[in-house]
């Protein structure tokens, strides 16, 4: 095992971590506002990848177009789901919305499987990003570097949006106390639509970005989603920093696991989570009594 290989794996862990970050951010924002786990989040991610495939294969073969369109389309789809489905269940215990998203996930996954087949579809790296980049100490695929850059920019943008804009301020207030927000005369249902749309958009973006490097197949989202649960349990729900740090940690654990003992790479994060729960039940940045 030489240094080159180790660095390569750590970078691959960073790639995986970036996808986790995008998904966990959306999961965490939706959780904060609605108080639910969105089981359909992995399905949104998968839909994003398939939407990118459909656009590049059947409409205009342009990756950049897909990169811009798909997150917007997924955000609209997420907002639509919120308005048509989730909204009817806010009065009930949050259990029911979670079960609804679980059903939605099954329906979306199986519908995609029936449409495109369970084997997955081919998706090639965009031409302008096919080469390798010399980082000085090693060569690394330029598409993967691009992915890291886009994810970091997106994470920064989400952070700026939530911490510096009025709308972001409303979302953060809604996360802390939705009832108080409503009492102050803010239409919370619009904020909820926006939040689910934002989360779905982020998942869609992750889907497009993942399409060239992962197999585009119906179950791609669910596998990643469960890993994201580990991410938010470690990072702490309702904290952007927690999602980012947790995502990067879990990505690195898997990368290191692949180097040390490949068959157990995916199992390692669950052991880590179990150990973590015993030491810090609330996660790294989890707040006390937050949706508990």
Partner 1 sequence: MHRAQLAMLTSFFALALMFPLVAPYVALASEILIFALLAMSYDLVLGYGGMLSFGHAAFFGIGAYTTGILLIRVFPSVPVALLGAVCVSSLAAAFVGYASIRRHGIYFTMVTLAFAQMFYFIAFKWTGLTGGDDGLQGVPRPNIGPIDLHPEINLYYFILALVIVSMFVIVRVVHSPMGTALQALRENRNRAMSVGYNVDKFKLVAFVISGCFAGLAGGLYALLLNMVPLGSLHWTTSGEVVVMNITGGMATLFGPVIGAVSIILLRDTISNYTDAWSLFMGLIFMIAVFGFRDGIAGFFQKKIIPRASEILRRAFPRKR
Closest distance between partner 1 and the C-beta of residue 227, in Å? 8
Backbone phi and psi for residue 268, each to the nearest 5 degrees, phi listed first: -55, -40
Q: Which is nearer to partner 1, 22 or 40 (CB)?
A: 40
For partner 1, the binding residues in 222-261 under the rule CB under 8 A are 222, 226, 229-230, 232-233, 237
Among residues 6, 68, 92, 169, the one that binds partner 1 under rule CB under 8 A: 92
88 binds partner 1 (CB under 8 A): yes
Using the minimum distance from each CB to partner 1, give the nearer residue, 146 or 290: 290
- Whether 26 and 158 have beta carbons less than 8 Å apart is answered as no
Residues 15-44 that bind partner 1 (CB under 8 A): 31, 35-37
Of 11 and 96, which has the nearer Cβ to partner 1?
96
Number of residues forming the site for partner 1 (CB under 8 A): 46
Q: Residue 282 has what DSSP assignment? A: T
291 to 37, 40, 90, 148, 237: CA distances (angstroms): 11, 20, 15, 32, 9
Cβ–Cβ < 8 Å for 285, 239: yes
Sign of CA pseudo-dihedral 51, 53, 59, 60: positive
Of 240, 204, 201, 245, the C-alpha closest to 17 is 245
Nearer to partner 1, 63 or 86 (CB): 86
Task: Taking the CA atoms of 238, 240, 242 and 248 in sequence, report the sign of the dihedral they define.
Answer: positive
Task: Please report, as ranges, the residues that interact with partner 1 according to CB under 8 A.
Answer: 31, 35-37, 85, 88-89, 92, 94-96, 98-100, 102-111, 113-114, 222, 226, 229-230, 232-233, 237, 263-264, 266-267, 270-271, 273-274, 277-278, 281, 291-292
């Amino acid at each position: 095992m030489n240094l080159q290989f180790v660095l390569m794996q750590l970078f691959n862990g960073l790639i995986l971590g970036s996808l986790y970050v995008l998904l966990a951010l959306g999961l965490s924002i939706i959780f904060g506002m609605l108080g639910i786990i969105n089981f359909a989040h992995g399905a949104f991610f998968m839909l994003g990848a398939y939407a990118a495939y459909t656009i590049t294969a059947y409409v205009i073969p342009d990756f950049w177009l897909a990169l811009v369109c798909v997150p917007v389309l997924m955000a609209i789809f997420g907002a639509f789901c919120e308005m048509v489905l989730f909204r009817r269940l806010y009065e009930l215990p949050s259990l029911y919305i979670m079960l609804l998203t679980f059903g939605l996930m099954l329906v979306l996954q199986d519908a995609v499987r029936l449409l495109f087949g369970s084997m997955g579809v081919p998706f090639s790296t965009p031409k302008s990003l096919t080469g390798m980049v010399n980082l000085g100490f090693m060569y690394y695929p330029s598409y993967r570097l691009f992915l890291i850059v886009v994810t970091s920019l997106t994470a920064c943008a989400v952070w700026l949006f939530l911490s510096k804009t009025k709308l972001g301020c409303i979302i953060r207030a809604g996360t802390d106390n939705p009832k108080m927000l409503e009492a102050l005369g803010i239409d919370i249902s619009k904020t909820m639509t926006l939040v689910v749309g934002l989360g779905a958009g982020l998942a869609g973006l992750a889907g497009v970005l993942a399409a060239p490097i992962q197999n585009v197949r119906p179950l791609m989202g669910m596998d990643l989603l469960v890993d994201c649960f580990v991410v938010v349990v470690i990072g702490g729900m309702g904290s952007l920093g927690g999602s980012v740090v947790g995502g990067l940690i879990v990505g690195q654990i898997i990368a290191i696991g692949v180097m040390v003992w490949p068959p157990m790479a995916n199992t390692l994060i669950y052991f880590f989570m179990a150990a973590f729960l015993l030491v810090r039940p609330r996660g790294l940045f989890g707040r006390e009594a937050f949706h508990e």
